[in-house]
Structure 1
């Protein structure tokens, strides 16, 4: 028999959600969202549930992101299933952020894209020495979504801009410094911590099993990150990094230049607009517009093809360079969807 892709169980007042696709590093699909959302609603209203615990099956990671191969085929065929998936996924992201009880996410191993959406909006976020957290979207011709631009834009200084444009991975110390996580726990303590939640208070379990977080190399680089990423355009950011004489900054410039030019420019605009937004719901509404525009773009299909499907690691971006991306190319991503708007802010 096929294993369920999401497991739910209740022990000692703890409602546990286990993402159960370990061979795919628990990549998130539409069916999983459709199972998690109503269960979370039910537990929110259940007085016997004290907290929710999110974990991933296997040891590779909580969740490697959305099932982008399915998105690739849907985009190529002009289908609508991805639009429906994103709509329900973003609604779930908002529900997690406003969940009224402790929502404890174990961000162990790989946590990217959609995995960040399931975990980093929670109110209790735990990382380990194995954590590798990122928003890698511009590398596949996409733009950070699932509330990612909200989180990135609220990282200290320009850390979020650096992370969004380079797709750099955060370790435990970086994730805490950037505001994506709250607590550091050695992976060897996780099982005992989860057991302790079933018999005692969350605060006591955190006090017993968490430790001081490792230092963040990302935070230590704030001086040059804040300086160069505060520029108004991606071109200015790259030029500043390239001419800095700082090895890590010059590497960041090369990382940025390998990504989709239009995705980079849309991402920078998205981050600046998210920083001025009044709520996560407002940001998710805009991310939905941007995501649907991406679905109709050349670069999303090409990026997934090159990085995941054919794996030649040689995407042919269009427009090919930052200079070729026009203001109209960028503005198209932010156009109203009319009756198809997500509408989370209106209904919040």
Structure 2
């Protein structure tokens, strides 16, 4: 076992704790593989009734971008695609587990961390929880199932979160269907102990407090007409007009507008189209993963996109994106959404796998 994780049995629970707080528990391919193998091993263990996933510090701020960039540059797109496959297989495994999973979403939860935590059967948030879909800000997308969660969010919260990359606190997470229970962090140790003792999922429900206020959801409902518009430029114009008004939504509209101006235009157009397609079709998690992998697999072989991602990773200025807002060619969007053929994701059929396989 690596120093990124602490995996063990504790009473009736399988325990997975992310132990890389200095890196905000960003997931490497090896970490994804170890978690998936643990879940599969517990599948056939009658002594394990449920699985608890928590972390030291932030729950998980996403994939290890340094590792991803290194594999893409040194090993090429094929090697980077294998890193992505590890993440996507983990997301798929968590979304359809054989044992219920309870996640404790401490601090920042982003990117692949959203898949790790928000596909669990009981998702616990506390006062300091912050869930964010920031893929468009990096020139990528809300992937590893992120678009599926955005498509299921109420009102136009999916567009709001996915395009503007705003941070959802505990109340917005619960009301936005990204979490199930609000429990103050001070109560988490006792709740985890009780879960390990009883192995009963209802323990979480019994410990839950009323959800705090959800300011982003309220704003999104008020700005529903904005995010119902057909294109990102139309949304941006409406947000900038709202930002000039003297009302409670003005500051949030200004923040969303500023974020959209900084984000990658192709990423936003792709995200908007995909979230709406999944919403209208009732697409599954696997449908979302397949569509997202198409984008990410191609991004891994796009040198300009990797250069922009490197700039973001290094904390530099806003990259010069390949396209401008409102001027993304239709063929560029179609290319990122087109099937991959023999390079497709191809997820395993978990029910047919041997435990620990």
- Using the size of structure 1 for normalisation, the TM-score is 0.93
> Which residue matches 2:268?
264
Unmatched runs of 5 consecutive residues or more in structure 2? 352-357
> Which residue matches 2:47?
48
Q: SS of the residue aligned with 1:242?
A: helix
Distance in 1, matches of 2:272 and 2:349, equals: 25
Aligned residues: 343
1:61-109 superposed Cα distances (whole Å, 9 cap, x missing partner) = 1111000112223333434332112112212211111113220000011
1:25 corresponds to 2:24: yes
Q: SS of the residue aligned with 1:243?
A: helix
2:224 alignment partner, one of 226, 235, 240: 226
1:323 corresponds to 2:321: no
1:191 alignment partner, one of 179, 189, 194: 189
Distance in 2, matches of 1:39 and 1:201, equals: 17
> Which residue matches 2:145?
147
Distance in 1, matches of 2:171 and 2:179, equals: 9
Question: Which structure carries more relative contact order (alpha carbon 8 Å, separation 6+)?
Answer: 2
> Which residue matches 1:282?
287
Q: SS of the residue aligned with 1:232?
A: coil
Q: SS of the residue aligned with 2:259?
A: helix
> Which residue matches 1:342?
345
User: What pairs up with 1:57-206 in 2 under 5 angstroms?
Assistant: 57=56, 59=57, 61-77=58-74, 78-200=76-198, 202-203=200-201, 205-206=203-204
Distance in 2, matches of 1:205 and 1:174, equals: 22
Q: Aligned in 2, Cα 1:339/1:196: closer, same or farther, shift over 3 Å? A: same
Shift in Å at residue 223 of structure 1?
Answer: 3.0
Q: SS of the residue aligned with 1:192?
A: helix
1:287-316 superposed Cα distances (whole Å, 9 cap, x missing partner) = 11111122233553233322222x222311
1:303 alignment partner, one of 302, 305, 308: 308
> Which residue matches 1:7?
6
Shift in Å at residue 343 of structure 1?
Answer: 2.8
> Which residue matches 2:318?
314
Q: Aligned in 2, Cα 1:225/1:295: closer, same or farther, shift over 3 Å? A: farther
- Using the size of structure 2 for normalisation, the TM-score is 0.90
